[in-house]
Amino acid sequence: MTVPQPPEPIPGARLLFSLDPAVSHLNHGAFGAVPIAVQRAQQRLRDEMEANPLRFFTQGLVDRIAHTRRHLAAFLGADPDGTTLVGNVTAGAAVVLQSLALRPGDEIVTTDHGYGAVALSVARECARTGAVSRTLPVPLTATDEEVVEIVRDGLRPGRTKLLVIDQLTSPTARLFPAAALVAVAREQGVPVLVDAAHAPGMLPATVASAGADFWVGNLHKWAYAPRGTAVLVVAPQWRERIQPLVVSWEQDSGFPIRVEWQATLDYTGWLAAPVGLFTLRSLGVDRVRAHNAALAAYGQRVVGDALGVAPERLPEPGGPAVAMRLVPLPPGVASTLDAAREFRSRIADRLSAEVSIAGWNGRGYLRLCGQVYNTPDEYDRLAVRLPTLLAQG
């Protein structure tokens, strides 16, 4: 089988970012990259804030945040009245968890593809309330139908108070059948939190199509917003129960404002987020999605070939729009969290390439992303140099 051809670059896209050109930035899914136009928009807002802080915070800021929320909700296909801005997916998940009023004997069900910080948040809430968490193992090669059956069999109506699933998993770059999983949980009366950290900007599916009780996604990854910009979308029957992690002066205003307003936070990133969407739309949303997914697929094949991984052993992401791909590392390499961090640092220091390395279920994986600022030769260089680094031990 031949390596797929890389996509044609989007003219001028690379110049929209201020990334260090001496480094191959192949891990957009970690912290994203903020376009220069968005950086400048946020700086103008910061200048406005510092010119007169009292005016900035007390005259119309709540309305400006609400306007931004409506704009972002429209892009995501979400109900603006059920949408609230939060700092990131982990913060949004924590808001949901502490609003559930869990009791001893209640349980939260997750899968072993979940994001580590969300898992820690679940563990803390269980320790605080006496609830328990249960993790469902899902094989990396499981079909959508198999994933649905694993979850169906893993729920316990009456005891399971929340199912947490990922729309696109972080450690394994796997697209889960979110809508089907929500439907299965609803049949059993179990509410669902969808961790959609990587969905906004990458995946075409809308929030409404998932139908979840809670949906939380970052806009600072694939939607070009400043970091610290995410939305939590809550179904109508839950909105009055949602409480902020910290009470502030808008507490009596109800959801969603009481979650958003946290006094002297720097709100300029949220207010600049629509400029990120403007940048994405200017490039062409569908064009960017197709480019990024094709580039990630190219990178997976060339690096996989260099490591001697047969094409049929390269994990499939589960959908054509996924711009993150996995490459299995040799057995024994980066198989633990500490080893993965050390190996990622070695790649960054010696190969001038930023990638994601995850130790998942005793096996190390390299995760590659595709973004408009990447070029095929960056993956080619990694493919040439990575085997030598591995041989050095």
Residues 323 and 243 in one domain: no
Helix, strand, coil % in the chain, rounded to nearest 5: 45, 15, 40
pLDDT of amino acid 393: 73
144 part of a folded domain: yes
DSSP 313: G
pLDDT tens track for 38-48 = 999 999 999 99
Are 45 and 192 found together in one domain?
A: yes
- Same domain (yes/no): 307, 260: no
* DSSP secondary structure letters along 79-110: -GGGEEEES-HHHHHHHHHHTS---TT-EEEE
pLDDT at 177 over 60: yes
pLDDT value at position 164? Answer: 98
Is residue 311 predicted with pLDDT exceeding 80?
yes
Q: What is the pLDDT of residues 69-96, one digit of tens each?
A: 999 999 999 999 999 999 999 999 999 9
pLDDT tens by residue, 3-40: 778 999 999 999 999 999 999 999 999 999 999 999 99
pLDDT (0 to 100) of residue 4: 78
pLDDT of 2 reads: 67
Pair 172, 268 in one domain? yes
Rounded to an integer, the average pLDDT of 259-286 is 97
Residues 199 and 301 both lie in one domain: no
CATH number at residue 181: 3.40.640.10
Is the same domain home to 72 and 214? yes
Spatial separation of the C-alpha atoms in residues 283 and 294, rounded to whole Å: 16
Assign 50 to helix, strand or coil. helix
Residue 340 lies in a domain: yes
* Residue 1 confidence class, pLDDT cut points 50, 70, 90: low
Number of domains present in the structure of the chain: 2
2 assigned to some structural domain: no
Tokens of 339: 């080893």
In percent, the amount of the chain with pLDDT more than 90 equals 97
CATH of the domain at 343: 3.90.1150.10
Count of helices and strands (H, E) across the chain:
14, 12
Q: Are 123 and 97 in contact (CB under 8 A)?
A: no
Peptide bond into 139 cis (omega under 30): no
Pair (197, 332) in one structural domain: no
What 3-state DSSP class applies to 199? coil
Which of residues 214, 247, 278 is at a domain's end? 278
Asked whether residue 179 is domain-assigned, the answer is: yes
Task: Tell me whether residue 318 is in a domain.
Answer: yes
End-to-end CA distance of the chain: 30
Is the pLDDT at 310 greater than 60? The verdict is: yes
- Of 254, 278, 302, the residue at which a domain comes to its end is 278
Residue 8 located in a structural domain: no
Q: Both 186 and 335 in a single domain?
A: no
Residue 31 pLDDT? 97
The three-state (H, E, C) secondary structure of 221-279, written as one string: CCCCCCCCCEEEEECHHHHHHCCCCCCCCCHHHCCCHHHHCCCCCCCHHHHHHHHHHHH
Cα–Cα distance measured from residue 115 to residue 209, given in angstroms and rounded to the nearest whole number: 22
The helix (run of H) or strand (run of E) holding residue 218 is strand 214-218
Instruction: For strands 24-25 and 230-234, give the pairing.
Output: unpaired
- Region at 105 (left for phi over 0; alpha for psi -120 to 50; beta for the rest): left
Q: How far apart are CA 45 and CA 274, in angstroms?
A: 13
Q: How confident is the model at residue 356 (pLDDT cuts 50, 70, 90)?
A: very high
**What is the rounded average pLDDT of the residues 342-355?**
98
The C-alpha atoms of residue 110 and residue 131 are separated, in whole angstroms, by 14
- Residues of the domain holding 340: 13-33+284-391
| pTM of the predicted model as reported, rounded to 2 decimal places | 0.96
Write down the mean pLDDT value for the chain: 96
Point out the domain boundary residue: 278, 298, 315: 278
pLDDT digits (tens, 9 = 90+) for 115-166: 999 999 999 999 999 999 999 999 999 999 999 999 999 999 999 999 999 9
Contacts 24+ apart (CB under 8 A), 374-378: 374/24, 374/25, 374/26, 374/28, 374/295, 374/299, 375/9, 375/14, 376/6, 376/295, 376/298, 376/299, 378/24, 378/26, 378/299, 378/353
Query: Mean pLDDT across the stretch 329-352?
Result: 96
Confidence check: pLDDT of 222 > 90: yes
Same domain, 63 and 159: yes
Same domain, 43 and 180: yes
Same domain, 228 and 269: yes
5: in domain: no
- Tell me how far CA of residue 146 lies from CA of 111, 152, 168, 183, 248, in angstroms: 13, 10, 16, 15, 45
Flag whether 111 is in a domain. yes
One domain for residues 19 and 105: no
